Amino acid sequence: MRAVRKHIVALAVVAAVGGAGAVAHAGLKSSRPTTVSKSGASGWADGILGSARNGGGAYEYLACGLQSYSTGDLFGFCYANDAAGQFAYCYTDAPTMIEAIQSVSGDSAVYFEWNGNGECTMFSMGNGSMDPPKLP
């Protein structure tokens, strides 16, 4: 959770500083690679879908989605693979996380954490003008 707060604060500072001296810029544009960090069986992953699509290495991808069963069960999931081939995956049946996962678009920035059982323990997503849209 602290990592996400730091990330959000960092984005706010960049936006504030970038706007303070802006004269005639076309707007802040950012890109970042998909990152997977593991500590034993738990860890976190972070990235922007547009960045992964547009310039990631041959192994880089990032996705989130939903899976529904005829029993009425609904699960959310996210998975990521960084340019070095390190894979991450988590799933959830928590209604608040499923609701958040439903709002991911093809150009969203996504961050998720998982525990040793592969369950999502934290999920964050956002859309911003500085994030790259995915290209064909």
Q: Could you give the CA distance from residue 84 to residue 64 in angstroms, rounded to a whole number?
A: 20
Residue 26 in any domain: the answer is no
How many domains, the chain?
1
Residues in the chain predicted with pLDDT less than 70, given as ranges, are 1-25, 56
Give me the domain span that covers residue 41: 31-126
pLDDT given at position 53 = 87
Residue 10 in any domain: the answer is no
Residue 5, CB-side half-sphere exposure with 13 Å CA sphere:
2
**Per-position DSSP letters for the chain, written without gaps between them:** -HHHHHHHHHHHHHHHHHHHT-SS----------EEEEETTEEEEEEEHHHHHHH--TT-EEEEEEEE-TTS-EEEEEEEE-TT--EEEEEE--HHHHHHHHT--TT-EEEEEE-TTSBEEEEEEE--TTSPPPP-
Residue 68 in any domain: the answer is yes
Residue 70 in any domain: the answer is yes
Residue 20 in any domain: the answer is no
Q: Could you give the CA distance from residue 80 to residue 72 in angstroms, rounded to a whole number?
A: 27
Residue 17 in any domain: the answer is no
Which pTM does this prediction carry? 0.78
Residue 132 in any domain: the answer is no
pLDDT in tens, 46-69: 999 988 888 767 889 999 999 999
Residue 121 in any domain: the answer is yes
